[in-house]
Amino acid sequence: MYIICTYDVAEKRCVKVMKVLRKYMFHVQNSVFEGELTPSKFNELKVKLDKIINPDDAILFYFVYENKKIKKDYLGKAPKSSNIII
């Protein structure tokens, strides 16, 4: 499944959240990641993030089940490409 993740966490935890997300997804913009994850990888990611955040933080996941139907549009600077995983 293709997932878009956005987060709003306290500044002191922001770097930790970003480091975990970079292991699973592409960093496309400040506080926004996206990528293809299996259900088991997604659950693994949630467990790791849950250990970092506190109740005042927020992490949102948007699920796209048919990524061929995603149309992206933007204004201003083009987002980083997220087509290749190294």
Cα(36)–Cα(26) distance, integer angstroms: 9
8 annotated as belonging to a binding site for a ligand: yes
Euclidean distance between CA atoms 84 and 86, whole angstroms: 6
The angle at the Cα of 1, spanning 68 to 83, to the nearest 5 degrees, equals 55
Count the alpha carbons within 13 Å of 40 in the hemisphere toward its beta carbon: 0
| Residue numbering of the annotated binding site | 8
**Annotated binding-site members for Mg(2+):** 8
